């Protein structure tokens, strides 16, 4: 399932005492990654329950919006700070990815953590996703793509069909030249 980026805004429901004293509760804005709005709301309440000590019953969601990338057609470097829960305990980690948008980088993160650490989506909490400049990249597997003279040769390319020839060949195809 593809991941989307959402901004969820919510607050504690004002009590009668708050209304009498003209107090407004604090409004909390959380930027998170989820496959749909329902999961985004659920993760929002989970964060508020853990950090601000109030539940969904005591609060209300004011707004929920999906965030779209401004320039989704150019490759960028992303640094992701996240926390994940393993069998041993909770760990903070930093990973870098190259992608065209933030959600693609988070999808790469989820796949990487599932493969390397057996961490599921429910056990990963993305804290921050930042776009990095080429000088700010720490990892070698990302900075090796910053060379402007980088080429990707294709030694095993297929022979192109003749313009006026038939699409189906009567002879065995040649896939290497040598």
DSSP, residue by residue, the chain = ---EEEEEEEEEPPPHHHHHTT--PPEEEEEEEESSHHHHHHHHHHHHHHHT---GGGEEEEEEEEE--S-TTS-EEEEEEEEEE-SS-EEEEEEEEEESSHHHHHHHHHHHHHHHH---GGGEEEEEEEEEPGGG---HHHHGGG-TT-----TTPPPPPPSSS-SS-SSPPP----
Assess whether 85 and 57 both reside in one domain. no
State the number of CA atoms in the 13 A half-sphere of 36 facing the CB: 2
Assess whether 47 and 90 both reside in one domain. no
Assess whether 24 and 86 both reside in one domain. no
How many domains does one find in the chain? Answer: 2
Residue 177 counted as domain residue = no
CATH number of the domain enclosing 60: 3.10.20.10
Assess whether 49 and 86 both reside in one domain. no
> What is the extent of the structural domain holding 87?
76-146
Residue 55 counted as domain residue = yes
Place of tokens 């999906």: 66
Assess whether 42 and 80 both reside in one domain. no
Assess whether 80 and 28 both reside in one domain. no
Assess whether 57 and 89 both reside in one domain. no
Output the average pLDDT for the chain.
Answer: 89
Look at 47-56, 63-72, 102-111, 148-157 and tell me which has the smallest mean pLDDT.
Answer: 148-157
Assess whether 132 and 102 both reside in one domain. yes
- pLDDT tens string 74-113: 999 999 999 999 999 999 999 999 999 999 999 999 999 9
Assess whether 87 and 126 both reside in one domain. yes
Residue 152 counted as domain residue = no
Residue 160 counted as domain residue = no
Residue 169 counted as domain residue = no
pLDDT number for residue 135 = 87
Question: What tokens appear for 115 in the block?
Answer: 């493969």
Strands ordered across the beta sheet of 27-34 = 27-34, 4-12, 59-67
Residue 57 counted as domain residue = yes
């Amino acid at each position: 399932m593809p991941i989307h980026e959402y901004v969820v805004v919510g607050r504690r429901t004002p009590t009668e005492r708050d209304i009498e004293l003209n107090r407004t509760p604090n409004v909390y804005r959380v930027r998170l990654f989820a496959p749909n709005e329902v999961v985004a709301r659920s993760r929002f309440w989970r964060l508020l329950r853990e950090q601000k000590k109030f539940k969904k019953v005591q609060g209300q969601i004011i707004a929920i919006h999906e965030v779209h990338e401004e320039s989704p057609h150019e490759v960028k470097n992303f640094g992701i700070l996240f926390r994940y829960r393993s069998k041993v305990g909770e760990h903070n980690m930093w990973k870098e990815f190259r992608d065209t948008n933030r959600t693609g980088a988070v999808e790469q993160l989820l796949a990487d953590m599932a493969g390397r650490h057996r961490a599921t989506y429910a056990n990963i909490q993305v804290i921050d996703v930042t776009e990095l400049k080429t000088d700010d990249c720490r990892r070698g597997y990302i900075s090796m793509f910053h060379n402007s003279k980088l080429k990707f040769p294709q030694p095993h390319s297929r022979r192109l069909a003749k313009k006026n020839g038939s699409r189906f060949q009567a002879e065995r195809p040649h896939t290497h030249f040598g």
